[in-house]
Structure 1
């Protein structure tokens, strides 16, 4: 596994465990114990992935993520002791790609990191542009454009849109989408609906009556391309 990862964690013992496991995988790791330090490091160099704690001294993880997303589309995995649905929804709403609750298995975290890095590398090899309706999707820069209007997509939103659009008119359940997009069979399936809602807000003129990503009631979601 190759990549450059920034770990943002104020508890050194936890950071040391993550660094130990990632170094065994041959990954280059850097550590920041505050959000301010993390943003400084991110502004001075590119990282392939960020592991981010929420309870940080100074600016918290949510604020750090909001600032990070202004100039970086690197996948972000939140690692937090907060287990409430609202905390996870806030994290995904701020642009996180995954959410791991403490205590966690270091081996499982490494597996998730590997999946995110692999997915990012594969996307970089794909065709740059995809057109549907009046939208043009720039896959390389994760940007949706329609005339002069532009919408930024998070890496996970990009994954969902690419997968559904390549399997047009075929419905996928939340469980199937979680397996395909997140790369494993376990996790909070409500994550899928949160990302679909965010994606619809960016794609649709009226998210309550979507034209592109529709719901097949009793089963799941499917992509129409706006032709129905």
Structure 2
């Protein structure tokens, strides 16, 4: 049984008191943020014992069980099944065995750290990965994005916000894989040896599918639909990431990652070019 000081306790649905106490994490604030190393009052807003259908599986790789439990509570409200692993090695095994739809990955893990885990995941899988870091430093985010992360949150964080981000990435991943509503009209873009399909969100080179993250494909499709018109980082961030504010440097990081995959010389790109002072654009003709 977890020990928790409960000031506001609201539970809805057919649930016993004992089942509530079994689920209580010991680290949470009244406004719903999660941190480390202190006891806080806990307000339970979770619909326990609900009848929501499981619609996705999320792997939480986090060495702090209390934090993992709280994330599980909030994701469970949406019918999302969660799996918890406390270290990188067991987390990677779970990626292979349990085939999660998304991974919430703590950077500061014992033994193999989160960055190593992320690199290993990206060798074989394109599933969305949200990093969790204890430090609020841009370098952590930039490094994570460079390795293939789709998003990140810093501790202390709001589990409600994290749950919303998880839902957003799962929704986008469904559209990419065809599991949800997709565009009724197929749009394909051809440049050089590449075929970019916006319906299946795939990139083929000489009929072979390239390993691309969902965000990379999303960004490529956006540039393709811009018909060769340059788009600035702020505009790209707003349209592709769906956010008004944030670290727009992640746009440049993702552009570099795409260039490394499709350009013969990423320092002198043929396809994704920069119009200085204006932004990035996709050159369908690949002129020098």
Same fold (TM over 0.5): yes
Deviations 1:135-191 (CA, angstroms, capped at 9, x unpaired): 23477585542477x742122111111121122212222122112222222321111
1:77 to 130, 134, 137: 130
CA RMSD of aligned residues (A): 2.3
- Higher deviation after alignment, 56-65 or 127-136: 127-136
Question: 1:73-152 residue pairs with structure 2 within 5 A?
Answer: 73-125=126-178, 127=186, 130-137=189-196, 140=200, 142=202, 144-146=204-206, 151-152=210-211
Deviations 1:97-131 (CA, angstroms, capped at 9, x unpaired): 11222211222212211111111111223659653
**Structure 1 counterpart of 2:107:** 54
Contact 2:176–2:214 under 8 Å retained in 1: no
2:69 maps to 1:16: yes
The structure with the greater share of residues assigned to helix is 1
Contact 1:115–1:183 under 8 Å retained in 2: no
- Higher deviation after alignment, 174-183 or 82-91: 82-91
Contact 2:194–2:203 under 8 Å retained in 1: no
Instruction: Give the gaps of 5 or more residues in structure 2.
Output: 1-53
> In structure 2, how many angstroms separate the alpha carbons of the residues matched to 1:130 and 1:182?
21
* Distance of aligned partners of 1:46 and 1:12 in 2 relative to their CA distance in 1, 3 Å threshold: same
SS in 1 for 2:205: strand
Normalising by the residue count of structure 2, what TM-score does the alignment of the two structures yield? 0.72
2:224 to 153, 165, 170: 165
> In structure 2, how many angstroms separate the alpha carbons of the residues matched to 1:90 and 1:152?
19
2:250 maps to 1:191: yes
> In structure 1, how many angstroms separate the alpha carbons of the residues matched to 2:141 and 2:227?
29
**Structure 1 counterpart of 2:234:** 175
> In structure 1, how many angstroms separate the alpha carbons of the residues matched to 2:271 and 2:227?
10
> In structure 1, how many angstroms separate the alpha carbons of the residues matched to 2:93 and 2:202?
24
| Moved segments of 4+, more than 6 Å | none
User: How many residues in Structure 1 have an aligned counterpart in Structure 2?
Assistant: 227
- Higher deviation after alignment, 83-92 or 161-170: 83-92
Query: Relative contact order, CA 8 A, sep 6+: which one is greater?
Result: 1
Contact 1:142–1:155 under 8 Å retained in 2: no
**Structure 1 counterpart of 2:22:** none
